[in-house]
Amino acid sequence: MNRAIPKTGVVTAAGGMSGTSLDGVDVAVLRTDGRDIEGFGRSAFRDYSADERAVIASALGLWSGDTVDAATDVVEAAHLEILRDFADVDLIGFHGQTLAHAPRMQGTLQVGNGAMLAAELGVPVVWDFRTSDVEMGGEGAPLAPFFHHACARYIGAEGPVAFLNLGGVGNITWVDPSVAEPQMEGALLAFDTGPANAPVNDLMQARRGLPYDKDGALARGGTVETGALELFLAEPYFARMPPKSLDRNDFAEMVALVRELSDADAAATLTAMCAAGVAEAMQHCPSPPSRVLVTGGGRRNPVLMQMLAVSLDCPVAPVEDVGLDGDMLEAQAFAYLAVRVARGLPTSCVSTTGVRAAVGGGIVSVP
């Protein structure tokens, strides 16, 4: 079946996202012409089983081999399962699963074959979004900022606003919606703030056999170890100028810093590290944003949100306060980016990834 992508006008796209928190696969639909958001559609979530999560986790930081192949099989099967219910769209944006990310060395690795998905689903699939950016000297991440620019315009923001995504790794996008195109000078600044949920999730899994600290309940009962927090903030990463990005395991030594602490104190300290990384990041914003809109799983942690409210100089709120869906924003982003790739529009630029010139990264596979 020939499913060509319309060259002009508004199209319906689905985006699939499996993030560094390893919770599962998000799929979300939006309608766009690749520039403006016309509206949002349905969404769905397919969680990973404990066994599936363990298979993927065992491949983190690896670049090839049987362990990577096994993780790839899990990722592809999970996406295929959930995306079968979205085969009525014009195209699909498939991010895959990041297993390793070292843009200045080996490159970046997102496993999952978009051509296979296109053949199985009978729908054009856009995939491998990051490689072109890395090959042109960029960090390959974060990639959601161009979508955040469209979101700021969609919600009618009149001045600079920041989107803070707290997944496994944190990243922030400063947006000036008065600048017409995201690749234009002054429109965006984006970079990773530091570890977010991943260290706490790993701690909970190791000590309690739980995937995460639900509602920050464990951290709420703990005390922050300020010495560990100071050592964390002394990491050279925070002195680097953006754009800059991280791998999920770049701050693995954080867990070593809290090894001798009680469960509650360790959770509180790791949560405080996430907030402190964001506070450091805010110093790089070209001008103070009117507010910080939080997306990703971290916004559901009231302890983390309170730490952010105390440490930042502007209002902090979940993106739901402006009518967006914080659970699905990244999946929506890859739906949006898929349309931009299909239409030859850039998806990253010097102020979002440090790439030498604005570039549209991605492979388009048509069934």
pLDDT category, 352, cuts 50, 70, 90?
Answer: very high
**Can you state the percent helix, strand and coil of the chain, rounding each to 5?**
40, 20, 40
More confident residue, 248 or 367: 367
Tell me the average pLDDT across 320-333: 96
Tell me the average pLDDT across 181-185: 97
Can you give the residue range of the structural domain that contains 103?
Answer: 11-136+361-365
Instruction: Give the pLDDT confidence of 202-249 residue by residue, as tens digits.
Output: 899 999 999 899 999 999 999 999 999 999 999 999 989 998 888 777
What are the phi and psi torsion angles at 340 (to 5°)? -65, -45
CATH of the domain at 308: 3.30.420.40
Task: State how far the Cα of 99 lies from the Cα of 182, in Å rounded to an integer.
Answer: 28
H helix intervals, 161-290:
197-208, 217-220, 226-233, 253-257, 263-282
Per-residue pLDDT, 104: 78
Domain count, the chain: 2
Q: Are residues 291 and 166 in the same domain?
A: yes
Question: Considering the domain boundaries, does residue 233 fall inside one?
Answer: yes
Q: Are residues 183 and 273 in the same domain?
A: yes
Q: Are residues 252 and 129 in the same domain?
A: no
Per-residue pLDDT, 1: 47
Question: Considering the domain boundaries, does residue 15 fall inside one?
Answer: yes
Tell me the average pLDDT across 315-337: 97
Tell me the average pLDDT across 105-109: 89
C-alpha 83, offset from chain centre: 20
Residue 229 sits at the vertex; the CA angle it makes with 207 and 231, to the nearest 5 degrees, is 110
